Structure 1
Amino acid sequence: MHSIDTVVIGAGHAGVATSHALTAAGVEHVVLERGRIGERWLSERWDSLRLLTPNWMSRLPGWEYGGPDPDGFMTAGELATYLGAYAGSFAAPVVHSAVHRVAVDSREGFRVVTDLDVWRAARVVVATGHCHRAVVPRGATDLSADILQLDPLHYRGPQSVAPDGVLVVGASSTGVQIAAELRAAGHDVVLAVGRHSRLPRRYRGRDIMSWLDVLGSFDRTVDELPARAARSEPSLQLVAGSDNLDLEVLHAAGVQLVGRFRGAAGATAYFADDLSSHVSDAERRMCRVLARIDALPPQGTGPTDAVDVRPVRVASGTGHLSLRERRIGTVVWATGFHGAWPWLEPPVVSHGRITQHRGRTAVPGLYTVGQRFQHRRGSSLIDGARHDVVDVVSDVVTARTHPRRLVPSGAA
């Protein structure tokens, strides 16, 4: 049995950033990690994946990219190495141990049970991210058993799928990247398109992330964007590098575009007649963002004229598709993720999210970092943790001198 002030769970970017801030504040703590630092990037990402944010956006508390390619894009393995170097720079107290249970202990604060030991802590910070399980539509269970079904956590590359055609469901960043990779490998690919966001990779001589940073888009808070739709907007259709990857590019490469997946019966998949409306909605949102960029004053040197972005021209999608006749043997569900914390006993999880405000849950002493839209639009980005850890660690420091009453385990 160990006693310590704070336990941080997870040694990804959010957990290590929290550890850095706790170290700077003089708070005794430990970081519990089931695997390697950055484990999810090493074991739950496809082989060709690169970050969608350029290297200069990998800013963490007391740490930033100092390599030769600030405008490049790290692979998943390179990011894990980057996080390992960050943790080593301040001797982060990482203990490689899987958490099995977190419960409120009325005497000590929390009891954290791992596969190696038990920790008693006054405070716990859950920093395991929000992409634990892939969201799979209910209709997936109605597909024939002979059709291989994969999600992005289990897809590693074209070698993962059957040798014939593939249906990819979901047209945000993950779906379009997987569809492009499979098409380039020679597979017949059908892409089911739902609500999505489109922006060019580069605009007026700069990476789009640079423009969004200048606009302050990632700093907009839940108070400024209260609508649920705005807070759950899909990730951008982007790929690392300088090339655009959108529906127009995929269509030109031979990918068939259909509407939103509605369900299945055996070897038949059904789609909504909404392809054109989703494309039009994405175009309108993109044009609003580009107009804001065009209204900015000149930003240093480089091209200043607006660049034409081609509209996506698509035919109406089919209402149904016989996967057997089309020789489609695999469906890849690129339909999003949600969090899962089965080991977390305090009742703070709802609909795949930890209910919190600026990292603080309703249970005194229980915090989280790295949630999607935790407080800012960019909270779940590597770059966003540096803001949210300030809120959490400031509260930890305050709570050490002004403790609040604990909520018993099982209380609302």
Structure 2
Amino acid sequence: MATPSSGAARHHSVIIIGGGQAGLSISWYLKQAAIDHLVLEKHEVGHAWRNERWDTFCLVTPNWQCNLPGYPYRGDDPYGFMKKDEIVAYLDGFVASFQPPVREGVSVQKLWRTGEGWHITASDGDYTADQVVVAVGGYHIPVVPRAAERLPADIVQIHSSQYVNPESLPEGEVLVVGTGQSGCQIAEDLHLAGRRVHLGVGEAPRVARTYRGKDVVEWLDKMKYYDLPVDQHPLGTGVREKTNHYVTGRDGGRDIDLRKFALEGMQLYGKFDSLDGEVVRFGAGLKGYLDEADAVSESIKDSIDKFIAAQQIEAPTEARYVPVWQPPAEEVRTLDLRARGVSAVVWCIGFRTDFSWISEPIFDGRGYPGHERGVTAAPGLYFLGLPWQYTWGSGRFSGIDRDARYLFDHITALRAQAGQPVLSQAA
């Protein structure tokens, strides 16, 4: 890793902000082309994988989809799902394969354009660059509702990014709010450990793990769904606002069926609404949320059926899902925390973006950067690793290589316009 220096602003042809898989991927291309660059990482390389995932965390997509530049998955379980420590080892192996120039423990405080390029104010001093790649993803500020301020002080509350394992929470029942991938998997983790779980269900869709003899991800890959550009998606850029489908790779991979959890004793509610003293109130509509999640899963199966028929693929038939539990007609809409012995609340309602440190008028009314495949209207400023930046795989191990290569081509084109040579082309 690079060693800090002091004095006047240090200049690099390209500065990459963020040392996760996105920043490292564009660094790989730049190093292959012998282009001077530096990666600035606020914490340590791969920080989120190391420190913001719980102990039993694993990928929800098969290992064969992991394909960082020049470093595809080479393990002996391509159809399995890497666990947290294996993911970290995979990322560390990628770093060791090309030794990127990274400066860890450096937080960027401000980025702005100058007449000659870009200026960065960081925790260890100033930098300048001809071009900058912002590779910090889109999950920056954990979302916790203001109502959380009114929770009794003796009830532990954490965000999903802080959850470690069931033993890290005090004894007692646990309220989990949110049913995206994190919420469902954390609720399952607690449930399997024998904890009594109360789950506030939202609008997240679900997907089956397998169907007609293959992992659903493999079917969707064959159907070229993961190659679908965002501007051709039926929802357009609106898909960026959608919650990911919940499923798990745990224990070799399986569905997450909230109805099954309910049969086994998990208490399901509608969407979190408010807090009145020690009583949590939930909105109506639990049945609708469960039905819609199932409908999305079944619609994906419909598309797979059509693909199999159109391609005349021999595949086993499979019975469709039948709900194993239904909410009562009179939904339970309140939870008395004290009476039920709830000792902890885990908020699993996502993150907000924060690009306030970038002083360039490229953002929309919600703070999202305007870009085309990561290329902004500001010459020499790029984004990499945003959810649905170009395809579903953007920011993931499966699609970051394509996005990084695209930005590399733009970086080298701009260098050529400025008369700056590329000493060797990336493979």
User: What TM-score, normalized to structure 2?
Assistant: 0.88
Query: Separation in 1 of the partners of 2:93 and 2:123?
Result: 26
Secondary structure of the residue aligned to 1:325 is: helix
Query: Separation in 1 of the partners of 2:367 and 2:274?
Result: 22
**Residues 332 and 347 (structure 1), Cα distance of their counterparts in 2 relative to 1, 3 Å cut:** farther
2:246 maps to 237
| 8 Å CA contact 1:338, 1:352 repeated in 2 | no
| 8 Å CA contact 2:44, 2:105 repeated in 1 | no
**Residues 209 and 122 (structure 1), Cα distance of their counterparts in 2 relative to 1, 3 Å cut:** same
Match of 2:297 among 243, 264, 286: 286
| 8 Å CA contact 1:176, 1:246 repeated in 2 | no
Secondary structure of the residue aligned to 1:223 is: helix
Query: Separation in 2 of the partners of 1:143 and 1:228?
Result: 37
One-letter identity of the residue aligned with 1:321: L
One-letter identity of the residue aligned with 2:212: R
Task: Give yes or no for the alignment of 1:310 onto 2:311.
Answer: no
- How far does residue 301 in structure 1 lie from its aligned partner after superposition? 9.1
Please identify runs of 4+ aligned residues in structure 1 that moved more than 6 A.
Answer: 298-302
Secondary structure of the residue aligned to 2:409 is: helix
The 5 A counterparts of 1:243-322 are 243-297=254-308, 303-311=315-323, 313-316=325-328, 317-322=331-336
User: What TM-score, normalized to structure 1?
Assistant: 0.91
2:385 maps to 370
The 5 A counterparts of 1:82-161 are 82-161=90-169
- How far does residue 8 in structure 1 lie from its aligned partner after superposition? 0.8
2:86 maps to 78
One-letter identity of the residue aligned with 1:326: R
2:421 maps to none
Note the residue ranges of structure 1 that are not aligned, 5 or more in a row: 404-412
- How far does residue 176 in structure 1 lie from its aligned partner after superposition? 1.1
1:330 maps to 344
Secondary structure of the residue aligned to 2:26 is: helix
2:46 maps to 38
Match of 2:370 among 313, 338, 355: 355
One-letter identity of the residue aligned with 2:30: L
Which stretch of structure 1 is more off in the superposition, 86-95 or 9-18? 86-95
1:387 maps to 402
- How far does residue 342 in structure 1 lie from its aligned partner after superposition? 4.8
- How far does residue 14 in structure 1 lie from its aligned partner after superposition? 0.7
When the two structures are aligned, how many residues end up with a matched partner?
Answer: 403
One-letter identity of the residue aligned with 1:230: V
Secondary structure of the residue aligned to 1:296 is: helix
| 8 Å CA contact 1:123, 1:366 repeated in 2 | yes
Query: Separation in 1 of the partners of 2:286 and 2:29?
Result: 46
- How far does residue 331 in structure 1 lie from its aligned partner after superposition? 1.1
Query: Separation in 2 of the partners of 1:105 and 1:228?
Result: 27
Note the residue ranges of structure 2 that are not aligned, 5 or more in a row: 1-8, 419-427
| 8 Å CA contact 1:251, 1:257 repeated in 2 | yes
1:206 maps to 214
**Residues 349 and 155 (structure 1), Cα distance of their counterparts in 2 relative to 1, 3 Å cut:** farther
One-letter identity of the residue aligned with 2:240: R
Query: Separation in 1 of the partners of 2:354 and 2:370?
Result: 13
Match of 1:344 among 355, 358, 371: 358
**Residues 344 and 204 (structure 1), Cα distance of their counterparts in 2 relative to 1, 3 Å cut:** same
Secondary structure of the residue aligned to 2:30 is: helix
- How far does residue 18 in structure 1 lie from its aligned partner after superposition? 0.9
Cα RMSD between the aligned structures?
A: 2.2
Secondary structure of the residue aligned to 1:390 is: helix
One-letter identity of the residue aligned with 1:175: G
1:396 maps to 411
| 8 Å CA contact 1:168, 1:191 repeated in 2 | yes
Secondary structure of the residue aligned to 2:294 is: helix
- How far does residue 258 in structure 1 lie from its aligned partner after superposition? 0.7
Secondary structure of the residue aligned to 1:198 is: coil
**Residues 323 and 347 (structure 1), Cα distance of their counterparts in 2 relative to 1, 3 Å cut:** farther
- How far does residue 60 in structure 1 lie from its aligned partner after superposition? 1.7
Query: Separation in 2 of the partners of 1:128 and 1:152?
Result: 19
| 8 Å CA contact 1:205, 1:302 repeated in 2 | no
- How far does residue 227 in structure 1 lie from its aligned partner after superposition? 4.8
Query: Separation in 1 of the partners of 2:378 and 2:301?
Result: 42
- How far does residue 173 in structure 1 lie from its aligned partner after superposition? 1.3
Query: Separation in 2 of the partners of 1:175 and 1:95?
Result: 33
Which stretch of structure 1 is more off in the superposition, 304-313 or 260-269? 304-313
- How far does residue 229 in structure 1 lie from its aligned partner after superposition? 5.0
Query: Separation in 1 of the partners of 2:385 and 2:31?
Result: 18
**Residues 217 and 315 (structure 1), Cα distance of their counterparts in 2 relative to 1, 3 Å cut:** same
Task: Give yes or no for the alignment of 1:168 onto 2:202.
Answer: no
One-letter identity of the residue aligned with 1:65: Y
Secondary structure of the residue aligned to 2:198 is: strand
| 8 Å CA contact 1:111, 1:120 repeated in 2 | yes
Identity %: 33
